[in-house]
Amino acid sequence: MKIIDARVIVTSPGRNFVTLKLITESGTYGIGDATLNGREMAVAAYLEEHVVPALIGRDASRIEDTWQYLYRGAYWRRGPVTMSAIGAVDMALWDIKAKAAGMPLYQLLGGKSRERVMTYAHCTGKDIDNCLEEVARHVELGYRAVRVQAGVPGIKTIYGVAKREGERYEPADSELPAEHVWSTKKYLNHVPQLFAAVRERFGHELHLLHDVHHRLTPIEAARLGKAVEPYHLFWLEDCVPAENQESLRLIREHTTTPLAIGEVFNSIHDCREMIQNQWIDYIRTPLTHGGGITQLRRIADLASLYHVRTGFHGPTDLSPVCLGAAIHFDTWVPNFGIQEHMPHDPLTDSVFPHDYRFEDGHFLVGETPGHGVDIDEEAAARYPFKRASLPVNRLEDGTLWHW
Ligand SMILES: O=C(O)C(=O)C[C@H](O)[C@H](O)CO
Ligand SMILES: [Mg+2]
Percent pLDDT > 90 in the chain is 97
Q: What is the pLDDT of residues 312-362, one digit of tens each?
A: 999 999 999 999 999 999 999 999 999 999 999 999 999 999 999 999 999
What pLDDT sits at residue 347? Answer: 97
Q: What is the pTM of this model?
A: 0.97
In whole numbers, what is the pLDDT of the chain averaged over residues? 97
CA–centroid distance, residue 258 to ligand 2 (Å): 15
pLDDT at 372 over 80: yes
Contact partners, residue 43, CB within 8 Å, separation at least 6: 18, 34, 35, 36, 81, 84, 85, 88
DSSP-assigned beta bridge partners for residue 235: 209
Outline where DSSP puts E strands in 341-390.
357-359, 362-364
344 tagged catalytic: no
Q: What pLDDT score does 162 carry?
A: 82
Domain boundaries 3-104, corresponding CATH code:
3.30.390.10
Q: Taking a C-beta distance cutoff of 8 angstroms, is the pair 34, 44 a contact?
A: yes
How many whole angstroms separate alpha carbon 132 and alpha carbon 350? Answer: 31
Per-residue confidence (pLDDT) for residue 251, from 0 to 100: 98
Between residues 167 and 112, the one the model is more confident about: 112
For residues 246-259, give the mean pLDDT.
Answer: 97
Q: How far apart are CA 298 and CA 221, in angstroms?
A: 29
Residues, CB-to-ion distance under 5 Å, ligand 2: 211, 263
Pocket probe mutation, ligand 1, options 238, 317, 403, max atoms within 8 Å of Cβ: 317
Q: Is 213 considered catalytic here?
A: yes
User: Whose CA is closest to atom 6 on ligand 1?
Assistant: 315
- pLDDT tens per residue, range 28-76: 999 999 999 999 999 999 999 999 999 999 999 999 999 999 999 999 9
ipTM: 0.99
Split at pLDDT 50, 70, 90, the class of 164 is confident
- How many other CB atoms are there within 10 angstroms of residue 101's CB atom? 13
Region 272-301 average pLDDT: 98
Residue 357 DSSP code? E
CATH fold match for the domains 3-104 and 108-367: no
Q: What pLDDT, on a 0 to 100 scale, did the predictor assign at position 158?
A: 87
Which of 33, 168, 211 has most ligand 1 atoms within 8 Å of CB, for mutation?
A: 211
- Report the first-to-last Cα separation within the chain, whole angstroms: 45
- CA 262 – ligand 2 centroid, Å: 9
* CATH superfamily for domain 108-367: Enolase-like C-terminal domain (3.20.20.120)
* Distance, C-alpha 121 to centroid of its chain: 13
For residue 54, the surrounding DSSP H or E stretch is helix 52-55
Quote the DSSP letter at residue 174.
Answer: B
Q: Using CA atoms, how far apart are residues 111 and 104, in angstroms rounded to an integer?
A: 9
Check if 37 has its Cβ closer than 6 Å to any atom of ligand 1.
yes
Q: What is the pLDDT of residues 115-145, one digit of tens each?
A: 999 999 999 999 999 999 999 999 999 999 9
Beta bridge partners of 180: 393
Q: Where are the domains of the chain?
A: 3-104, 108-367
pLDDT of residue 167: 77
Whether the Cβ atoms of residue 312 and residue 340 lie closer than 8 Å to each other: yes
